[in-house]
Amino acid sequence: NASIAIQLYMQVLNTDGSLDLTEDGEPITLMTGYDQQNMDAHLEPGSDMVTAIWEENKADKKKVYAQAVDLSANSLWNDDGLELSSEDLEQYNGQISYDNGSYYTGWSDYNGNFMDPIIKITGQKIDASGNLQWGDEGILISERDGDDILTDVVGRYYIWQNESWPVYEIYAKLVNEDGSTADGWDDNGTLICGAEGTQSNAKGIITPNGLLIVWKDERNVAVNSLDIYGQLISEDGVTQWADDGIPLVSLEGDQSLSNFLYNDGLVTVWEDFRSGSVYDIYMQKYNDDGIQLWADNGQEVVVKPTNQQVPFITTNNSEYMVFWEDKQSASNTDLYAKMFNADGSTYDNWPVGGKVISNAIKNQLQPLAVTYNDNAYVIWSDTRSSGKTDIYNIYAQKVGYLTNSIDDEEIPDQFNYLRQNFPNPFKTNTSISFNIDVDQYEDAKVKIFNVKGQQIRSIDVEENQIIWNGKNTSGKIVSAGIYFYKLEAKGLKTKPRKMLLLK
C-alpha cells in the first residue's frame, strides 16, 4: 500500500519454506492513510502473540502506538493500535520488551518548541489483554538537561543517550513492575558512560550478572575514529567494569558494531575499516570481566579486497553463524555466510571467503537471522525485481549447522534427537523441541534436572515441542542458574542438554 501510506505487515514462515499467511503477508494494522514507521516488535518464545510499537502521524503530530496480533495476524488489542500516552507531545523512538507476563514500552517525548526544546523519556506498561497499567500518560523515565533519546528497552531496563552537544552520554534505569525506580538506580538514570565525545546507539542484553550494554564510541575520534565500548551493570545498579566502560574494539579506522549476543560470554560482530581502504568483518568473544577470549583485536570473519558490511550473528549452542553483505562488484551486493566453532575457529569445509547464500542480480541487503532446531533462518531485503526504480522485497533462506551436540550412538535414528532450547539463556519461557515419530509420543517426557542431578520437573510430550516456564513440579519458580534436560520416549534416550535460566 505504499502508494497510499506505509502499513505494517507480518508473515509466518514454516521450516520447509512454505508460508502460513497470504502471499506477501497480512497487515497487523489498519490502513489509516498515514505512514506507520520505525517499528519495534517482539515475539516471546512459547507465545503465539506478536507485539509491535511504531510511530504514526494520524493525530496531527507523530505519536507512538502499540498492537498485538496472533500468528494469523488477528488483532488482539485495539484495531487502530493502542495510544500509549494522552500527552499532547511529539513521540518517537518507540521500543517494546517483555517481562513476567507484561509488555514494557518506552519512547522519547518532544515538546515541539524549537527555541526551548525539551526531550524526555516516557514509559508505559501493557498487560496481555492490552490494558495500560501506568495511567493514561505513562510514567516519566528521565528528564535530564539536554535531549534524552531512547535507544533500547530490555525487560524492565531502559537505555538511552543524553545529548548536550558536543557530548553524548549513556544512561540506563531499571524500573519496578509499578514503574517506580528500582533500588540502587538513579531516578533520572544511572550513568553508564560520561566520557568526552559522542557515545550513541547503546543496546543491551540481560546476562546472569546483570545488564550488558554495548555502544558506539567516539571518545578517541582524533586517533582511532569510531570504536566499540561496553559496560556491565548489576541488577542493583552498580557498574562492574571500569568507569565509562571498557574498549571492546579500539583500533585505527572505524569499527562499527552490527549486533551481539550472550552465550557463556559476550559475542560481538562488526564491520572494520582497519585496512584503511575497505570494510572487513571481525568477531570477538569476551568473558564476564570483558577480557578477550579469541584472537587479539578480533577473529577474522572475512577479509577481501572489496567491502564486506552489515554482519549479523546467531548461535546454535556452541556454534556461530555470521551473515553479511558482500560487495562483489560496483553494481551488485550478494549475501554470504560463514560458520564458526565455540573457540572462534572455522570449519574446513567452509570457504575462507564464506558461502554464497544469495547472489541474485541487483542487491541483497540487511540480513537478519535466528536459530531454530539446529538451522539458521536468514531474511534480507532484495532488489532483484527492480527496474528503473528500486523495488525492495523480502527473501529468506535456511542454512543448516554442521554439527549438533547429540551423541549418535545413543540415538537409534539420526533424525530422532533432542534440540537445543531456544532462547538460551532465557528469563521466563523457553521452547524445547525434538523430532520423534507420533507413535513415540505415548509416555514420552522431557525431564529437567538441577546441577545436583535432582529431577525438578517432568513434562509430558503431546507434540514436537514443549514450553518450560521455569517452574518446578510444585509450580514454584526455580532459582536462576544452570539446568539440564533430556527426552525419554519409546526406544529413545538422549544425552542431556544444558540451559541457563536468568533472574
Of the listed ranges 85-99, 110-124, 407-421, 470-484, the least confidently predicted one is: 407-421
Start-to-end CA distance of the chain, whole Å, equals 43
pLDDT digits (tens, 9 = 90+) for 245-254: 999 998 888 9
369, 385, 403: which is the final residue of a domain?
403
Average pLDDT over residues 331-343: 93
Residues 399 and 412 in one domain: no
Indicate whether 424 and 491 sit together in one domain. yes
- The per-residue pLDDT for 407 is 30
Note the pTM of the prediction, 2 decimals: 0.81
* Contact in structure between 120 and 189 (CB atoms under 8 Å): no
Tell which residue, 205, 206, 207, 230, has the closest CA to residue 217: 230
Tell whether 37 and 56 lie within a shared domain: yes
Is residue 365 assigned to a domain?
Answer: yes
Q: 412 falls in which pLDDT band (50, 70, 90)?
A: very low
Q: Is the pLDDT of residue 204 over 80?
A: yes
* Residue 191 included in any domain: yes
Segment 307-324 shows an average pLDDT of 95
- The kind and range of the H/E element at 13 are none
Are 185 and 286 in the same domain? no
**Domain span including residue 229:** 156-250
SS3 for 340-405, per residue? Answer: ECCCCCECCCCCCCCEEEECCCCEEEEEEEEEECCEEEEEEEECCCCCCCCCCEEEEEEEECCCCC
Rounded to 5 degrees, what are φ and ψ at 409? -65, -20
pLDDT at residue 434 in the model: 79
pLDDT of 439 strictly over 80: no
Q: Assess whether pLDDT exceeds 90 at residue 423.
A: no
Torsion angles phi and psi, residue 408, rounded to 5: -60, -30
- Whether residue 243 is found in the same domain as residue 290: no
Domain edge (last residue) among 226, 250, 274: 250
Given pLDDT bands bounded at 50, 70 and 90, which one contains residue 414? very low
Dist. CA 503–CA 91, nearest whole Å: 32
**Contact predicate 321/327, CB 8 Å:** no
Q: Which residues partner with 460 through β-bridges?
A: 445
Question: Could you read off the pLDDT of 116-173 as tens digits, one per residue?
Answer: 778 999 999 999 999 999 999 999 999 999 899 999 999 999 999 999 888 899 999 9
Give domain status of residue 291, yes or no. Answer: yes
Q: Are residue 81 and residue 121 in the same domain, yes or no? A: yes
What's the number of domains the chain is made of? 4
Question: Is residue 149 assigned to a domain?
Answer: no
* pLDDT > 70 in the chain, percent: 95
Written as nine digits, the cell of 78 is 485495539
pLDDT at 221 over 70: yes
Res 409: pLDDT: 31
pLDDT cut 90: percent of the chain above it: 71
Domain co-membership, 292 together with 396: yes
**292 and 359: one domain?**
yes
> Rounded distance, CA 450 to CA 456, Å?
7
Pair (300, 364) in one structural domain: yes
pLDDT in the model for residue 117: 79
Is the sign of the CA dihedral 133, 138, 139, 142 positive or negative? positive
Q: Which region among 293-297, 312-316, 432-436 has the lowest average model confidence (pLDDT)?
A: 432-436
Specify the pLDDT at position 260. 96
Tell me the pLDDT tens digit for each residue of 159-174: 999 998 888 999 999 9
State mean pLDDT over 35-53: 94
Asked if residue 192 and residue 63 are part of one domain, the reply reads: no
